[in-house]
Structure 1
Amino acid sequence: MNSTYVLPDAPASLESSAETASVIETPLRIAQRLATTFALTAAERDARGGTPKAERDALRASGLLAMSIPEAHGGLGANWRQTLDVVRTLGRADSSLGHVFGFHHLMLATVRLFGSSAQWRAWFEQTARRQWFWGNALNPLDERAVSHSHADWWEFSGQKSFCSGALDSEMLIASARDVDSGALLIAAVPTGRTGISVAEDWNNIGQRQTDSGTVTLEKVRVENHEILTDPGPLSTPFACLRPLLAQLILTNVYLSIGESAFNDARHYTLHEARPWHTSGVQTTSADPYILGQYGEFWAGLEAARLLTDRAADRFDAAWTRADALTDAERGDVALAVATAKVAATEIGLTICTRMFDVAGARATHGALRLDRHWRNLRTHTLHDPLAYKLREIGEWALTQRYPTPSFYS
């Protein structure tokens, strides 16, 4: 990947996040600048919910939506470790934005892994040129959407839930179950196509600006060239990297939430918290019990960071193997990703729960909305039960059997 990139002008509403004059910067530095601005309004936007339109437009203007697209097709040519570093950087500022940014790149990877060369090359080039945002309407566990075959096109009808980033997107990855064969069909379609309705009905306790609500498909015409059948979903070891990338994106989002909670707790411990009256110390930072908890937090975060970065490096190595990737090589990546996800989940939930023990009573002030860290992580981690991830790892540890490829492993 090129080491520098010319940052386009940012929208006027977010001029503070990027100078109006073009600046030569690395993609990570661009993300850091955007994250600094995003963090200023994260608590307020969490309370409001809805679509972070100005922030999504800033991501469009930044060029980062083309980050994982090869340079030959107009993108920045980043590898997955670099792209995931940006997911984590944005997630530390606002986990909702880290989430939708990561899922955008997951959707691009989906057309690369499941589609033909002619399909993904054309979509990559248009995405880079037009600054498209991709949203998700796949959800393989939601069977309410079905498809009917016609002579040279398909009809998708039904609903999909947990459609992260679908609102304010230009393209969707959508799925439907073929009523005749029972096969899961996955397609790339314009969000604005006739028959597609994206509801503003996401109102969960966490990840409140991911727009992960409902997409309704009403007799949507899907052309044959929009169906991803070559090689198709989970059809080869390389195609089976798609769920591992999804898991790795989530792992980086989880880790970013834990890091953000740690940073907020540290600020309030140092600047707001008061030592307990029987502690015998003058400052909270000298309390041995609080120091011990911070030691636990830090050790857990360091372990999760190392495991997550190791998993990303192994994923990149597998990605470069492409069609030569073997089942065993894919299995090794699956184990590395699952292990990192367990570590990020466990330390994240620990910090988000216990941060108030070390930050003090003032940290519970409602306007701070520091509870959003727990709400965000708890909302997200429930969609893929940790117990089943541990069972997969345990099966490998005991019997040396790799996890069976699915949309979640």
Structure 2
Amino acid sequence: MNGHPAPTDIPEPFDPARLDLADPYPVYRRYRETDPVHAVRPPRAAGRTEPTTWYLFGHTEVARVLTDRGFGRASPSTGGGVPIPEGYVMLRRIVENWLVFLDPPRHTRLRAHVAPPLGAPAVRALRPRIREIAEELVRPLARRPVVELVEGFAAPFPLLVVAGLLGVEAGRWPWFRAEALALQQAGGTRGDRSPAALERADRAAAGLDAYFREELAVRRTEDRGDLLSALAAVEGTDASLGTTSLTSTCVHLLTAGHETTTGLMGKAVLALLARPEVGEELRADPGLLPNAVDEFLRHDPPVQMITRWAHRDTELAGRSVRRGDRVQLVLGSAHRDPARFPDPDRLDIHRDSGRHCAFGLGIHYCVGAALARAEAEIGLGLLVDRLPALRPDARPRVEVEYAPDWVFHGPARLTLSC
């Protein structure tokens, strides 16, 4: 154990399926204290050497892997890194072209075209429209005694924003949402990855791909001033920008770009319900919202775990990690590491939460981070101000159901009754 005492009261080996979805942090803490670089070794296979999976629980090790070019998104042994089985052609074709699964140099070229429309200057110009969308959604909620916050606000809000940015039909957001959830059912931690779920995800990938191919075809002859028009204008300028790459990028922005914000909004509301004094502070001083959003991201991030692959032999906290090993970065644990964040289990909206890993670090730092922050600041500000369940004297009944997912982590349903 390299100087760490053997775990005695924690599941061995580490298994995310055995964690409490609503509160995994006590288990994270025990691993962080006893076995922060934890190996799960595969059964011996005749004639084959299977890679070890490492779970990292400390902030130092997680931050190092995120910023170290010796770790990548694709396995150096197989060239793969996409968590989709063989046989689901459209699903694999879409997902393997997502920016988040690419390594340089292709990642660098594609990101250069996607980043500017999502950067801070572009998002500042979008803020009035983001607020309009949020107000349209909050207005009816403010009049209802019972509110289902995920479907009523947290899911449609970022979807409508991303749809407007791309330039696609905002009225189709229920279809976008259904197809996005179908894709996520095929992910590594959600659902049972049954053939039926994978086939449904494959059909969703095909439908979204066909939709964005049609939209790109329109933009080749008609510049509408949206992100799809910008992508169509550069299509074919290099090998990273073929039509499949661009449609995959659109699907990625639509899915990951809304689900993370949906999780952030839902979990932030749960935190505010548990700590009414925080909502009172935000109502009294909305200028605290930007820092509060970073603290919500640190305290209970909407992405709890991400994967990297070791591209060379290295050492992490005294443990020998071999080229080809899989490394699972437990962001939720890194964010509660007292070596980086004093009194880490306490939600403190005045804290300096910089260097949290909710948007990643290094070359894969989330290209939509500025947009997600703007959505959260605007959306949470309106909810705190207008949602009856978040009033200081409210005592709402809360019903919450978490999605069985550690990648996109958060409530699938959140019902508030006043």
For Structure 1 versus Structure 2, the TM-score category normalised by the shorter chain is under 0.3
Q: Which has the higher contact order (CA 8 A, sep 6+)?
A: 2
TM-score normalised to structure 2 length: 0.26
